[in-house]
A and B are shown apart, each in its own frame.
Chain A
């Protein structure tokens, strides 16, 4: 089972520029979470802070009792072996073939025989649909393939925490859909805690159990997906609808005058519909996180806003009536 990640009061700035302040959230063990946010709100910085690549000035990131911010370097290195991080453009080693790239963590951290390594690596290559390209250098393949190779490398040590930095950027909608399915399938197979940082609305609507959003140097909200999807918060609503009207401006945020002008010309907004979450592909085990999440969410349901409460209750009522939500027949060959 995955590991719980507890973030407490994390604050990060570069020089005088504050990135975000006082971010507190818990990634529940084994569940899939998505962090949304407009470009440039420090989503990638947040991911890198979780693994201890960047050091926030304040706060803690607790994983199995190790604080990724302040613990000794040796413990941080040890804890990092639990992680698989998929970088925005793959971050593959340019001088190694895809096979050697994906085999790298195995060769560094295990004493497996070369035949064993080959078996594991080819298995992962097949999962991400790169069979036949394993001999190529990262410079010889497309950006989408590099991303998938980066994912394969992140998966090779059976990580308990998987972090994906914008898995969709640079992918076409079809490949993004396959990738969404792949992430859910992975969660069903590995039962790992996952955090996906993205601004893709399709992924946000169909993949996560939990969602959060970063804006204006702080965490706007984090909780069960229904909370964000039904939120009336202007920032969240604007982002989820992809509108120009709202507090998010081109550079960062708008001034009051523009906002007032917009209020007069506001168009009616259609109510959002909550799309059912993706299910693992047929033949795969059920996601064990689903049961855990149901207990957790139903346990805290009294503290949630009314709209979210109704949405959650409706989802769970539906899912007992029809055991499987409609699933696109997506294989593993994304």
Chain B
């Protein structure tokens, strides 16, 4: 029951944060020198036409009024429409969200599924060949720009080996390469995080206690070390998933996936303010929800975390 209460409380706390985010973004984007009416109507529009449209869009009002109107719109889930295409921002967002979520989700999934066992094993075999190997791998993955990794993978798997399609969407096979590239950074942080955490846990007294009780080394690790080492790792999964949604910008553009990322890039290039604004706010909400889920999972794993406090 307190879980439901906690969840509702957290979701309510998200509202002022989102309002604040909107405020910040609104005033930042207000700095934009572009003239939306001109942008929408094109260069050969007359001055009257522009003035009329500005009036219609409320752009002749003071900025505070515009902001309040925008906020009221957001509360009714109205994020306005694109200055470039004229489409409704929320509709476009929802249309493109599934591809991005799918991509970020598969990327996180494989990276977590692979990274945690690798990190734990490396910690258990500290200073061994496997440990050094995994350290070199994380080092490489951390220092490689994802667009470059994407190009290398495209050349190898698509152009040379012809195993996978290089770009586009349509089948699950199209998702393999982008998810692989997008998850690379998550993989590195998973390995590093779970290794560090595991090394720390292995030094704890309760591992020695378990051994003194007669548990074998393997049993002590499985029953006592792994659970304890996961708490900081779970937090990192949340951060990485949010990072994947951000990283999707690059991945989607290289693999021409029509998700949020490619939409955002075009919007930034065209300085399409309503689209950028709406997308960022909606992503902030998604990230907020992810953080909530992460905290709930952490509390489930670690009894010391008291959500009621």
Report if A and B associate in a common complex.
no
